[in-house]
Amino acid sequence: MSPETQNSSNSQEDEARIFLVGFMGAGKTTVGRELAQHLGYRFIDLDDVISCRAGTSVQQIFAELGEPEFRRLEREAIQSCSGLNGTVIALGGGAYMSVCNRALLRTIGKTIWLSFPLEVCLSRVRGDQTRPLLGDEAAMAVLLDQRRATYAQADFTIQTGELPPNQLANQIARIFG
Ligand code: S3P
């Protein structure tokens, strides 16, 4: 069975911006870097863009300004991607939850959901102090359940979490090849 599922048609024009969507620990940054290399694109982590623009870390934004302000900055950062060409962008795990963000992403690029089991995601982020929304396993299971149907609206879904990042990137690159 093919690991990737195409959920919509794609055009040459908007393939120039590829957005990786998925839960904390799905490997969006690691796979995104590999994918960018495969395609000869540049790579951007949206949380880094937010942090850079705000002049402080994601944890500090959550702690001092609150999640709504983080989400506003996140939306602005996505908007700022519309002028980029040939770029792979790793979105934060909550970025695709906003209706506005999804509408914008549909107009500026293609989205790929890295859909891996919760255990796979948690094994990578357990104990990470830099993720303000990271909770215990039960809380993460609830959050992923709340988000799954929305992630599934991405243009493509990749479900082979056990493959190394470079092989995953290779499979995704073939979608755009
Ligand atoms: C978030 C995930 C984080 C970061 C922020 C909120 C979320 O990114 O954007 O802490 O809502 O799931 P990662 O998915 O890279 O951990």
Which pLDDT tens digit goes with each residue over 64-79? 999 999 999 999 999 9
* Segment 108-164, tens digit of pLDDT: 999 999 999 999 999 999 989 899 999 999 999 999 999 999 999 999 999 976 789
CA nearest ligand 1 atom 1, residue: 93
Res 3: pLDDT: 42
131 Cα to the center of ligand 1, angstroms:
6
What number of residues does the chain have? Answer: 177
Band of pLDDT at residue 177, cut at 50, 70 and 90: confident
Q: How far apart are CA 158 and CA 120, in angstroms?
A: 14
Residue 88's beta-bridge partner residues? 18, 43
Give just the sign of the alpha carbon dihedral 118, 67, 97, 169.
Answer: negative
pLDDT reading at 2 higher than 60: no
Res 46: pLDDT: 98
Q: For ligand 1, what atom is nearest to the CA of residue 67?
A: 6
Pocket of ligand 1 contains residue 46 by CB under 6 Å: no
Look up the pTM and report it.
0.92
* Segment 3-61, tens digit of pLDDT: 455 665 444 455 599 999 999 999 999 999 999 999 999 999 999 999 999 999 999 99
